[in-house]
Amino acid sequence: MVIEFFEREKPTPPADYFRVDHESLKAWVKDVFISLGCREKDSSVIADVLVSADLMGISSHGVQRVKRYVDGIKAGSVKPKPQIKVVRDSGAIAVVDGDSGLGHPTTSFAAELAMKKAKSYGIGFVAVRNSQHFGIAGYYSLKIAGKGFMGLTLTNSTPLVAYTHTVERYLGTNPIALSVPKREPPPILFDAATSVVPLGKIEIYSKVGKEIPKGWVIAENGELLEGDATVILKKIRGKEAAILPLGGVGELFGGHKGSGLAMLVDIFAGILSGSGWGAHVRYTVSDKPGNVGHAVMAVNIDSFMNRESFLDRIDKYIQEIKSLKKHPKAERIWIPGEKAWLTMQTRLTIGIPIHKNVYNELKDISKDLQIPFTLKVLKEKAY
């Protein structure tokens, strides 16, 4: 198979970025969390989730999040060695307690349990309580699809988003990630926040000096903010502003739909699991545990129909979509997950672009933790 080179978020200007080898980056992230007292296995999972995000072009949830997790462990709100356990187990469902550890290992455990149950019952649904931020939701759904199941991953998060017709932070960015296996890679993967943007995108804009467009953030007086990302980020953290729900302000373009989706994620991932919800979910760096809630589901296709028939139907469905009359200004018709997968194939070959400010932040973490800074910088390759 010929892999085309593609990056959905090309760095501009290139001079402000380093190209870093993904293996050295993953090894360094693993060392960071081992140095903080995390188990080696858990550290490997955390590193894999973060670097996978950067490989897929989701820099908002990549290694720029390392400092947040490090600070959470230092503050005592995140346990480095959580005792993850199943607290309810009944047929196709289970509830897992994450013991205030980072959500990456806990949700990986929940995904494996959901797939095990799906083999026996046709479907497996695992709710997770007492957890922390878990990176990109799509990571877990993608792993489920890689094992031949359809997957669903939900999580709530600290309040950052204004419910429709309000101006204060109450909802989390509460993403939804759905995956479907296919005969040929990539699997279908839809992974999106139920807000206009996740907080991580505003954080990365602040770090790289980009401006926030009008329509992402609303001030407490109802004004739509735009401009300096660092100033706007400070207002959000100071509770003087909130991110808007998917669809934007009001109902005209569907802001009520984004709010409704976020609310339902809160119910399934937070209320049903026994975790916090809305304003009761705390930030990673806090004086108390985050009490974040997740939900993971695996669907066994073989329990519903013949697998080959299902795969035939998926192929036909995608073929029909790809054959639709294309917009005159569009380069191609994309299926959810294709851009991220092609970006990953490209970055596995030429390295991950990391902005100099993020790179220096990682360097400072190494110095603070007194561990070697082992990132391997690659030369830019033409393609």
Instruction: Find where tokens 């997740």 sit.
Output: 294
Answer yes or no: is 88 within a domain: yes
Answer yes or no: is 61 within a domain: yes
Answer yes or no: is 101 within a domain: yes
Length of the chain counted residue by residue: 383
Predicted pLDDT at 3: 52
Residue scoring higher pLDDT (12 or 118) = 118
For 303, the domain range is 14-307+337-378
Cβ(96)–Cβ(277) below 8 Å: no
- For residues 20-36, give the mean pLDDT: 98
What predicted TM-score, i.e. pTM, was given to this entire model? Answer: 0.95
Answer yes or no: is 314 within a domain: no
Q: DSSP H helical segments within 122-162, as ranges?
A: 137-146
In a 3-state reduction of DSSP, which class is residue 125?
A: strand
Cα torsion at 266, 337, 69, 248 (round to 10°)? -50
Q: Which amino acid is present at 323?
A: S
Answer yes or no: is 2 within a domain: no
Cβ(147)–Cβ(220) below 8 Å: no
CATH of the domain at 357: 3.30.1370.60
The CA distance from 334 to 340, in Å, is 11
**Measuring CA to CA, how many Å separate 349 from each of 20, 267, 316?**
11, 41, 31
**Tens of pLDDT, residues 44-100:** 999 999 999 999 999 999 999 999 999 999 999 999 999 999 999 999 999 999 999
Cβ(187)–Cβ(166) below 8 Å: no
**Tens of pLDDT, residues 217-237:** 999 999 999 999 999 999 999
Answer yes or no: is 4 within a domain: no
Predicted pLDDT at 175: 98
In a 3-state reduction of DSSP, which class is residue 236?
A: helix
- Token pair, residue 376, equals 């391997």
> Structural domain tally of the chain?
1
Q: Region of 113 please: left (phi>0), alpha (psi -120 to 50) or beta.
A: alpha
Cβ(351)–Cβ(69) below 8 Å: no
- Token pair, residue 165, equals 């017709």
Beta bridge partners of 218: 224, 242
Answer yes or no: is 27 within a domain: yes
Hey, how many other C-beta atoms are within 10 angstroms of the C-beta on 306? Answer: 10
Start-to-end Cα distance in the chain = 17
In a 3-state reduction of DSSP, which class is residue 61?
A: helix
Answer yes or no: is 210 within a domain: yes
**Tens of pLDDT, residues 321-344:** 999 999 999 999 999 999 999 999
Hey, how many other C-beta atoms are within 10 angstroms of the C-beta on 26? Answer: 21
Burial class (CB in 10 A: 0-12, 13-18, 19+), 378: middle
Hey, how many other C-beta atoms are within 10 angstroms of the C-beta on 239? Answer: 12
